[in-house]
Structures are given as structure tokens and as C-alpha cells.
């Protein structure tokens, strides 16, 4: 007898087609049958060892988070309710060009320092891997939800070239090609870049194009955090479209926002650019989170010249008064490339987390508010914090526009991604609330998307980008990564004031056919594993 039958569910199967009522039978981690309208037809209903009454609930494929920063959280926190409770059954990590494989001992230490604000330093992690394959093997010991990995181009450049702002030599470029190829051979699904983060931002287009050719040859995709989301955002999007067309590489645009005051109401211009490229044959998808503020590290706002050489060089420059004044001029007057070419508005920069608990008093206030309380200039406050926290500070940037968020999420290439940074005392609520916010706020309350459209964007469309032939749909033979939610009550619990509250209205989540969330509570099941690139 089969393992489980989910009875009388309203199935939104991920295809975008209208829902239907069905009994869905699961056995050995797979969907073995979908019996539509079984009760009404009067036919023999399927039986199983366990029966789950899903009356009033929607059954859909598990949600795929196309932009996650859980690289260490998956190992650190077996519970991982931040994602499991949302109905996420697969995360894509290795984002924004910086992660923890491939590395050597030197590069691993540098990367750990550089992205402490994203993932913590990792004192509680056994970094026993060095290659992409070894990292994926570590995930295969058992994690809360599944995870796919992107080869991080910035880490690759740090390993082959270093953190200097210079062109790669031919030998170094060959080494980078080799590292990307090895990562894809070992199971990575593509390559990411962080082109406002060092050292990835030092790569010229010609270098990126060569690496994208490698990615394309393995059937992967390129996922850039491109060179500007502020001044020059449209030019930065166009640059990535042209670069990947030349390389023959599929493109997935990370957190495809149009932020800062210069881009208010300009989402239609971006969407027109993408539509023209798609109509001409380009292979493009994108992801967004359903909130207006962004989230990054305070150090990421610095100009690229100030970040050359890596974390220790940054700290040295901040410690020198003359150099620090030059940094201030770039940030506040010229508009640093790390801040997307827009002069920083300190009233929009809220401290959300610190690496050093002794600095916790900074959390929850903007830099300008803290400076006022301290009786000093905002740059003095920011500089003090960067030095004291050794670049580990995380910030929210309140620079988005609701009309842009809604317009982009309606686009035919859209998928969902949380960009969820779990580090810090007050992380962005998108880390805990992205997927229920789509379903509750933008589907039920606002009607921006229909339920069927929204589920497709969170399931089958990302599965297609990842080239996963047996995920993202409720179909016989597909993996039983599923979520049951109440369409009338599903909502994020997380707010900016209480960002770690879990969502409501998602009582059951399955990974590999096993209960990860049961009756609204996290079980002790660790059914997640690495999801590796399907060979061409």
C-alpha cells in the first residue's frame, strides 16, 4: 500500500492552468497518482497507509527560492523554519558572486570576512570542503530543504586573480574558465556574479563573456547582480542582455528591481528592453522579492577603489583620515559605484544586523538617526561602525517603489526569490515572508496575480530555468516536494518590526514525500539534499 494520500485537495498544479479537485497519492518520495474529482465521479478512491484530509486547502508544488543566501544557514540551523515554514522546498544558493566554493585556504578566509554580513563568519561551521562538489556532498548529509548551487564568479576571481582591480592575465583567465567548468561538472546549475561587489566587479565584459561561454557549454545559466540598480540601471540590464547573447548563455536577472529615486516609475522601460530581447530569441528569466526595501552590507556601499585588495585593505583605508574623507566624498557627493551611482541618503540606510553583539545598540535605527543621537555627521557614524564591526554590518536600504515591484512581478519572465539574508538581529522580513506575501498580499488582497499565475512563477517556471525535469508540477512521477496552504489565511508573520515571525496558513510542507511541516509545526525531518545540474 502507498505511503500517503492527500484527499480532496484543490490542486494548483504549477502549470498556470485552472485548479481542480483531486486525491494525490505519494509513495517513496514521488507522486504516484493524481485522481481528479474522485468523490464526484463515484469511483474507487485511492487508499494509503496514511490519509490526509485537505478539504479547503490548496495543494501546489513546493516553492523554489531562486535567490537565497542560506549557504551556511542550511548547515548551521537544521530546523531552517525561515524557509521550510514558507513552503520553500528548494533554494538556489551561491548568489551574487560570493560564496564558499571553490576556494583554497587563503580565499576561504577572505570570503568569510567579506560576507560576514550575509552569513556570519562561520565560527560554528566545519569548513571541511574546498571544491563545489565537496560542498554539495556536505549538503547531502541532510538539510531541511533542497539546495542548488551557482559557481560564484567573484570567489573564482579571488582564487585565480586576487582582490585587485586589474585585468586578468591570459593564464588567470584560463584558470577561471577551468574553475567554472569544474564547478559545473561537479553539479552547479550555473554561475552568479556580484558586479557591485569586489572582486567580481573588477571583471570587464570580455572576461565575463568568456566565463559565460563555459557556463553555456554545460547547459547552465548566468545569474548576475549587475553593475547598477540605481543610476545607469537600464544600461546595466542592457549590458547583461548583450553579454549573454554574445556568449550564447541563458540569463537570469537576480533581484530585478528598479530602485532609488532616479528610477521611480521606470519599470516599463526595463520590461520593454526585456520583451524586445525575448522576442528576438533571448533566453531570459528574472526573480524579485515582493517588498520595496533592499538589503545588503554597509561595506557594499563603498566605492570600488576603496574595496580593492580585500577586507584588510578596506579597513586600512577607513582607518586613514585622508582616505576616509575621499570615500565620504564619493559616497555623499559623487555617488559611489558600490551605492549604484547614487549619492547615499543616510536616512534610507537602516542598520539591521551587526557581527559584534556589543554594537547591538545600532540595530533598528538609520545611520542619520544614530548620528543625530550621537551628535556627529552620518559618515562618522558609518565609518565608526564599519571599523568596529570589521565590515560585518548588514543594512536595509529603503529605496524601492511599489509601482515598479508590481509591474515587474507581472512580467512573463518573472519568478520568485527572497534574497533572504538570515543574519542579524533585525533581518529583512523577506527572509521569512516572501512566499506567503506573494500568495496573501499580491494574490488575495490586491489581485495583482491570479493564484494559478503566482504558483507557476514560484514553481514550474523556476524548475524550467534550473532544467529540473521532475520538479515544479503536480504530476505523476514527479518528486513529492509539495505544499498545502489555506488561500484564505496564508500570510507572512514577519514584519520589519518583528522580522523572524513565521507565516500563517501553511499547515503542511513535504520534501521528498516526508512531512517537513506538519500541522503548522516543524518536524525533525532532514529530507533535503543537493540538487545538481542535469547533464546536457
DSSP code of residue 168 = P
Radius of gyration of the chain, Cα coordinates, nearest whole angstrom = 23
Exposure of 460 in the CB half-sphere (CA atoms within 13 A): 17
What does the pLDDT look like over 148-180, one tens digit per residue? Answer: 999 999 999 999 999 999 999 999 999 999 999
In this structure, are residues 481 and 71 in contact, taking their beta carbons and an 8 Å threshold? Answer: no
At residue 305's C-alpha, the angle toward residues 401 and 419, to 5°, is 35
Judged on CB neighbours under 10 Å (0-12, 13-18, 19+), 301 is buried
Indicate if the pLDDT at residue 41 is higher than 90: no
Where are the strands (E) in 161-246, listed by range?
Answer: 190-194, 221-225
| Cβ(104)–Cβ(134) below 8 Å | no
Cβ atoms of residues 244 and 226 within 8 Å: no
User: Which residue reads 525531518 in cell numbers?
Assistant: 525
- Residue 452 CA, distance from chain mean position: 22
Q: What is the model's pLDDT at position 200?
A: 97
Q: What is the mean pLDDT of residues 65-88?
A: 97
pLDDT, residue 35, reads 94
Please name the residues in contact with 74: beta carbons below 8 A apart, sequence gap of 6 or more. Answer: 80, 91, 93, 139, 143, 144, 145, 147, 528
What is the band of 85 on the pLDDT scale with cuts at 50, 70, 90?
Answer: very high
369 vs 399: CA distance, rounded Å? 17
Query: 98 phi and psi, to 5 degrees?
Result: -140, 115
Q: Partners of 297 in the beta sheet?
A: 394
| pLDDT of residue 219 exceeding 60 | yes
Q: Any idea what the Cα angle at residue 33 is, between residues 31 and 39, rounded to 5°?
A: 130
Q: What nine digits make up the cell of 101?
A: 566554493
Does a cis peptide bond (omega within 30 degrees of 0) precede residue 102? Answer: yes
- What's the grid cell of residue 530? 543537493
The pLDDT mean for the chain works out to 96
For residue 49, the model assigns a pLDDT of 87
What confidence category does residue 38 fall into, taking pLDDT thresholds of 50, 70 and 90? low
Q: How far apart are alpha carbons 162 and 388 in whole angstroms?
A: 25
Mean pLDDT (whole number) for 195-216: 97
470: its cell numbers: 521532475
Question: What's residue 242's pLDDT?
Answer: 98
Cell numbers that stand for 514 in this block:
516526508
Query: Does the pLDDT of residue 1 top 60, yes or no?
Result: no
Q: How would residue 47 be classed by pLDDT, with cut points 50, 70 and 90?
A: confident
CA 132 to chain centre: 18
- Mean pLDDT, residues 51-55 taken together: 97
Q: Average pLDDT in the 100-124 region?
A: 96
pLDDT at residue 39 above 60? no
What's the pLDDT at 514?
97
| pLDDT, tens digit, 9 for 90 and up, residues 267-298 | 999 999 999 999 999 999 999 999 999 999 99
> How does residue 48 score in pLDDT terms, banded at 50, 70 and 90?
confident
User: Quick one: pLDDT band at residue 40, thresholds 50, 70, 90?
Assistant: low
pLDDT band at 42; cut points 50, 70, 90: low
Per-residue pLDDT, averaged over 36-55, amounts to 80
Q: Is the Cβ–Cβ distance between 147 and 74 less than 8 Å?
A: yes
- Stretch 385-405: mean pLDDT: 95
How far is the C-alpha of 510 from the C-alpha of 234, rounded, in Å?
Answer: 40
Of the candidate ranges 29-43, 52-66, 391-405, 426-440, the one whose mean pLDDT is the lowest:
29-43
pLDDT tens, 442-500?
999 999 999 999 999 999 999 999 999 999 999 999 999 999 999 999 999 999 999 99
> In angstroms, rounded to a whole number, what is the distance separating the alpha carbons of residues 402 and 215?
34
Residues 480, 51: Cα–Cα separation, whole Å: 15
Answer for the pair 430, 289: CB distance below 8 angstroms, yes or no: yes
CB within 8 Å of 223: residues ≥ 6 apart = 67, 92, 95, 150, 190, 191, 192, 193, 252, 253, 254
Environment class of 181 (CB within 10 Å of its CB; exposed 0-12, middle 13-18, buried 19+): middle
Q: What is the Cα–Cα distance from 262 to 7, expressed in whole angstroms? A: 51
Supply the pLDDT for residue 506. Answer: 98
Q: If you write DSSP's letter for every residue of 395-432 in order, what string do you get?
A: EEE----HHHHHHHHTSTTEEE---B---SSS--THHH
Q: What is the pLDDT of residue 375?
A: 96
CA–CA separation, 14 vs 472, rounded Å?
6
Rounded-to-integer distance, Cα 382 and Cα 244, Å? 37
pLDDT in tens, 498-510: 999 999 999 999 9
Tell me: the pLDDT tens digits for 287-328?
999 999 999 999 999 999 999 888 999 999 999 999 999 999
| Grid cell in block for residue 374 | 550621537
**533 φ, ψ (degrees, to nearest 5):** -55, 135
Q: Which residue in 194, 196, 378 sits closest to 301, CA to CA? A: 196
Judged against a pLDDT cut of 90, whether residue 2 lies above it is answered with no
Angle at 496 (CA atoms; ends 494, 502), nearest 5 degrees? 10
Residue 499 burial (CB count, 10 A): 23
Dihedral sign, Cα of residue 465, residue 70, residue 76, residue 511 = negative
Amino acid at each position: 500500500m502507498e505511503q500517503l494520500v492527500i484527499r480532496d485537495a484543490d490542486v494548483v498544479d504549477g502549470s498556470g492552468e485552472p485548479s481542480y479537485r483531486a486525491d494525490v497519492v505519494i509513495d517513496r518520495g514521488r507522486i504516484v497518482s493524481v485522481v481528479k474529482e474522485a468523490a464526484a465521479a463515484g469511483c474507487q478512491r485511492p487508499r494509503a497507509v496514511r490519509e490526509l484530509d485537505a478539504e479547503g486547502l490548496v495543494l501546489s508544488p513546493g516553492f523554489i527560492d531562486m535567490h537565497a543566501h542560506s549557504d551556511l544557514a542550511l548547515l548551521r540551523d537544521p530546523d531552517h523554519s525561515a524557509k521550510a515554514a514558507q513552503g520553500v522546498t528548494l533554494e538556489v544558493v551561491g548568489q551574487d558572486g560570493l560564496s564558499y566554493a571553490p576556494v583554497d585556504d587563503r580565499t576561504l578566509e577572505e570570503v568569510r570576512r567579506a560576507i560576514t554580513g550575509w552569513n556570519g563568519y562561520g565560527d560554528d561551521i566545519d569548513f571541511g570542503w574546498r571544491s563545489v562538489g565537496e560542498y554539495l556532498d556536505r549538503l547531502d548529509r541532510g538539510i531541511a530543504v533542497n539546495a542548488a548551487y551557482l559557481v560564484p564568479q567573484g570567489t573564482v576571481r579571488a582564487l585565480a586573480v586576487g582582490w585587485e582591480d586589474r585585468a586578468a592575465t591570459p593564464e588567470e583567465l584560463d584558470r577561471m574558465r577551468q574553475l567554472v567548468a569544474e564547478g559545473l561538472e561537479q553539479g552547479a546549475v550555473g554561475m552568479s556574479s556580484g558586479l557591485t561587489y569586489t572582486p567580481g566587479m573588477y571583471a570587464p565584459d570580455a572576461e565575463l563573456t568568456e566565463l559565460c561561454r563555459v557556463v553555456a557549454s554545460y547547459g547552465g545559466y548566468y545569474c548576475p547582480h549587475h553593475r547598477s540598480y540605481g543610476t545607469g540601471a537600464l544600461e546595466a540590464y542592457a549590458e547583461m542582455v548583450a553579454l549573454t547573447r554574445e556568449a550564447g548563455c541563458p540569463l537570469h536577472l537576480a533581484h530585478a528591481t528598479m530602485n532609488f529615486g532616479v528610477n521611480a516609475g521606470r519599470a516599463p522601460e526595463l520590461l520593454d528592453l526585456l520583451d524586445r530581447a525575448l522576442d528576438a530569441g533571448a533566453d531570459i528569466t528574472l526573480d524579485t522579492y515582493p517588498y520595496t526595501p533592499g538589503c545588503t552590507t554597509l561595506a557594499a556601499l563603498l566605492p570600488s577603489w576603496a574595496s580593492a585588495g580585500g577586507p584588510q585593505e578596506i579597513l586600512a583605508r577607513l582607518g586613514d583620515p585622508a582616505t576616509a574623507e575621499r570615500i565620504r566624498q564619493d559616497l555623499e557627493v559623487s555617488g559611489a559605484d558600490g551605492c549604484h551611482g547614487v549619492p547615499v541618503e543616510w536616512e534610507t540606510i537602516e542598520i539591521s544586523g551587526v557581527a559584534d553583539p556589543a554594537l547591538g545598540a545600532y540595530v533598528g535605527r538609520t545611520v542619520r538617526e544614530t548620528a543625530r543621537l550621537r551628535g556627529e555627521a552620518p559618515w562618522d557614524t558609518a565609518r565608526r561602525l564599519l571599523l568596529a564591526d570589521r565590515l560585518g554590518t548588514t543594512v536595509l536600504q529603503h529605496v524601492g517603489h511599489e509601482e515598479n515591484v508590481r509591474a515587474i512581478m507581472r512580467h512573463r519572465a518573472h519568478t520568485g526569490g527572497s534574497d533572504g539574508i538570515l543574519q542579524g538581529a533585525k533581518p529583512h522580513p523577506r527572509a521569512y515572508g516572501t512566499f506567503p506575501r506573494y500568495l496573501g498580499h499580491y494574490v488575495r488582497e490586491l489581485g495583482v496575480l491570479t493564484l494559478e499565475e503566482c504558483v507557476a512563477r514560484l514553481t514550474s517556471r523556476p524548475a524550467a530555468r534550473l532544467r529540473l525535469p521532475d520538479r515544479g508540477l503536480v504530476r505523476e512521477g514527479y518528486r513529492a516536494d509539495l505544499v498545502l496552504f489555506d488561500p484564505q489565511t496564508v500570510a507572512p508573520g514577519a514584519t520589519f518590526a518583528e522580522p523572524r515571525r513565521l507565516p500563517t496558513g501553511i499547515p503542511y510542507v513535504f520534501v521528498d514525500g516526508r512531512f517537513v511541516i506538519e500541522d503548522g509545526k516543524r518536524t525533525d525531518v532532514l529530507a533535503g539534499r543537493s540538487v545538481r545540474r542535469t547533464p546536457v
